[in-house]
């Protein structure tokens, strides 16, 4: 199974800050990576697929990069609506696996 390791687990930031979340795969997954945002009590929402392809309607302050084993999600100017938990997910092979999540909190 492919293990997905996210870091940090928790980040405290202010509105306007830039935040970067890292996701590392235990083996090469090429660009088969997605990022999701989840708010408390809600279902996750797909933000980015294929490592860097922004979903329709997702603000351009979100961006993804990477390939192979190392990936990043960057939020360029944090907005109040962005405080949530973020998960990466590998789509390279079954079983599909998620990272442990990164909670972004208000400083």
Partner 1 sequence: EEQLVESGGGLVKPGGSLRLSCAASGFPLSRYSMNWVRQAPGKGLEWVSFISSRSDYIYYADSVKGRFTASRDNAKNSVFLQMDSLRAEDTATYFCARDEGDNWFGPWGQGTLVAVSS
CB hemisphere CA count around 22 (13 angstroms): 6
- Minimum CB separation of residue 100 from partner 1 in Å reads 5
Rounded distance between C-alpha atoms, residue 42 and residue 52, angstroms: 24
Q: Which one among 2, 13, 58, 91 touches partner 1, defined by CB under 8 A? A: 91
| Distance (Å, whole) CA 102 – CA 51 | 17
The conformation of residue 77, written as its DSSP 8-state character, comes to S
Among 14, 43, 60, 107, binds partner 1 (CB under 8 A): 43
What is the smallest separation between the CB atom of 85 and partner 1, expressed in angstroms?
Answer: 8
| CA–CA distance, 61 with 37 (Å, rounded to integer) | 14
Q: Name the minimum Å distance from CB 91 to partner 1.
A: 4
Q: State the number of binding residues for partner 1 (CB under 8 A).
A: 23
The contact set with partner 1 (CB under 8 A) reads 1, 32, 34, 36, 38, 42-46, 49-50, 87, 89, 91, 94-101
């Amino acid at each position: 199974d492919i293990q997905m390791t996210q870091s940090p687990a928790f980040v405290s930031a202010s509105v306007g800050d830039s935040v970067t979340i890292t996701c590392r795969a235990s083996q090469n997954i090429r660009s088969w990576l997605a990022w999701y945002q989840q708010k408390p009590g809600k279902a996750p929402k797909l933000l980015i697929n294929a490592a860097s392809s922004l979903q329709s309607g997702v603000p351009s302050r979100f961006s993804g990069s990477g390939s192979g084993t190392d990936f990043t999600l960057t939020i360029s100017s944090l907005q109040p609506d962005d405080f949530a938990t973020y998960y990466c997910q590998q789509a390279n092979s079954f079983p599909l696996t998620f990272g442990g999540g990164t909670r972004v909190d208000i400083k």
